[in-house]
Structure 1
Amino acid sequence: MTTDPRTLIWSKSSYSGNGGSCVEWAPAQTTTGIVPVRDSKNPDGPVLSVPTRSFAEFIAGVKSGAFFAA
């Protein structure tokens, strides 16, 4: 990713609860074709750079129930 993750505006997943598995993404970056994703509990940690189409397909899968808790 060419943008410094510290300068991005991050949004927390609506599925994130208190102390649970929290995921953040930077929606403004989607215009670049990449969706930055990070662990909200570790904001200085690694950032995944996911292609927008793959991210959209993942979100559609989550909403449809294609994934389940183990």
Structure 2
Amino acid sequence: MAKNAFPPIKTGTSLLTKVVGLLILIALLTLVVKHPTDAATWVGQAGHFVGTVIDGLASFLQHAIG
């Protein structure tokens, strides 16, 4: 019987993942710097959407539970 029955978990990330993450971060920063009004509008809309989803889930649970 082996000492460890589970395979080791890879903890590091690949270079490609880091490069893609860095490129996304640069794109977001560029968007905020060049178009701050649009970026603020998108964040506000995303926040409103998340709030609507949470309200819908709360309403569903209230009706389901009782």
Taking structure 1 as the reference length, the TM-score comes to 0.29
User: Greater helix percent: which structure?
Assistant: 2
User: Greater strand percent: which structure?
Assistant: 1
Larger relative contact order (C-alpha < 8 A, sep ≥ 6)?
Answer: 1
Taking structure 2 as the reference length, the TM-score comes to 0.31
